[in-house]
A and B are shown apart, each in its own frame.
Chain A
Amino acid sequence: MAGEAPQYVAARVQRALAEDERTHELGIRVDVRGDQIFLRGQVGDEYRRETIAGVAGEAAPELELHNEISVVEVRDPGEEENL
């Protein structure tokens, strides 16, 4: 039997990130290429970034994980827009 298709692995990780009570993250993009897994998106702080990587690693322990998630910047409000 062939190994698990990468699409199913990515779907499993994405579902884990959404449903695991440690994360509940719906906005993370998960891509599997060969034996590597890539996480992309934005979260509120470094702690959440690391927690997501931990949950993803548990869901796909056989893959090399690349955590490309960034921490969202909260800049000053800037100019108003006239509608």
Chain B
Amino acid sequence: MKVRIAAVGDIHMGEDLRGRFRPRFAGIEERADVLLLAGDLTRHGTEEEGRVVADEFRDLPIPVVAVLGNHDYHSDAEEIISVLLRNAGMIVLDDQATVIECHGETLGIVGGKGFGGGFAGKCASEFGEPETKAFVRHTKDIAERWRVALKETPADHRVVLAHYSPVKDTLEGEPKEIYPFLGSYLLAEAVDAEGADLIVHGHAHLGCEKGLTPGGIRVRNVALPVLGRAYGVYSLKEDLNV
């Protein structure tokens, strides 16, 4: 059987959107084996909004794996939000991996927020003021944690779940001037080094759905305004060696 990945990001929930998505997830178990949430699950990053997200995805019939996005950090409540989501049965990844069994095959998911910095040749460097160095180092550290997590997670299939984009392709439609705040090539470089079947991300509401890393890994921008549907479904090739 093929492994089917459902994914959406940037749902930006608040009390005013409570219950808006749940009906759209009815029957998801017929369409997908796992649901990935690509960050920006809240708008202001408050504990109250975290409760709305937890209630919206509580007890879905398939595993739900989430990362947080920049909005979820805004009110310094990211740890509380993570706990609320975990208490609702979701797996929340912060530069870690989890392995899920699907139809007798293993699906490794490495996930984290990611960060910005820009893309090869037009990016920030770890140079100059401490503020600039800290910005770039944050992305470098995340990329290294992803590389290690992928290396230490052998599985039949591997997917990377992020909020920020690892490639420019899926930013097409966004103003080029803000690319450095939308993602970093360091993320793609780390994933290309260890290999994966798919990378999903959000964050770029004006971007487009489909792209590729320089190493040929498929990238999908699943931000809700880009998809225009409750979630995208991506099925991975069967592993014929199993």
Contacts known (A27-B225, A44-B20, A45-B17); A83 close to B231, Cβ less than 8 A = no
The listed residue with most A CB atoms (<10 A of its CB), out of B13, B230, B237, is B230
Which segment of A2-10, A54-62, A71-79 sits at the interface? Answer: A71-79
A47 to B206, CA, bound (A): 21
> How many residues of B sit at the interface, in one of the four size bands?
35 or more
A2 to B137, CA, bound (A): 43
A50 to B44, CA, bound (A): 17
Contacts known (A42-B205, A44-B12, A44-B17); A78 close to B229, Cβ less than 8 A = yes
Residues of B within 8 A of A83 (CB): 197-198, 218, 234-237
Is B232 interfacial (CB-CB < 8 Å)?
yes
Q: By the criterion CB–CB under 8 Å, are A47 and B230 in contact?
A: no
Mostly, the A contact residues are loop
How many residues of chain A are within 8 Å of chain B by beta carbon? Answer: 21
A52 to B74, CA, bound (A): 18
Q: By the criterion CB–CB under 8 Å, are B232 and A81 in contact?
A: yes
A–B pairs, 15, beta carbons within 8 Å: A21-B44, A27-B205, A27-B225, A45-B17, A45-B20, A74-B21, A74-B228, A74-B229, A75-B228, A76-B24, A76-B229, A80-B4, A80-B31, A81-B232, A82-B2
A73 to B28, CA, bound (A): 19
Q: By the criterion CB–CB under 8 Å, are B233 and A72 in contact?
A: no
Q: By the criterion CB–CB under 8 Å, are B20 and A77 in contact?
A: no
Residues of B within 8 A of A81 (CB): 232-235
Q: By the criterion CB–CB under 8 Å, are B31 and A77 in contact?
A: yes
Residues of A within 8 A of B163 (CB): none
* A interface with B by C-beta (< 8 Å): 21, 24, 27, 41-42, 44-45, 47-48, 72-83
B131-161 interface bits toward A, Cβ cutoff 8 Å, 1 = contact, 0 = none:
0000000000000000000000000000000
Residues of A within 8 A of B231 (CB): 77
The listed residue with most B CB atoms (<10 A of its CB), out of A21, A45, A72, A79, is A72
Is B6 interfacial (CB-CB < 8 Å)?
yes
Contact of A80 among B14, B71, B234 (CB under 8 A): B234
Q: By the criterion CB–CB under 8 Å, are B230 and A77 in contact?
A: yes
Contact of B230 among A42, A74, A79 (CB under 8 A): A74
Given contact pairs A78-B233, A83-B237, a sample of 16 additional A-B residue pairs in the complex whose CB atoms are under 8 Å apart: A41-B205, A42-B205, A44-B12, A44-B16, A45-B17, A45-B20, A72-B225, A74-B24, A74-B228, A74-B229, A75-B229, A80-B234, A81-B233, A82-B235, A83-B198, A83-B234
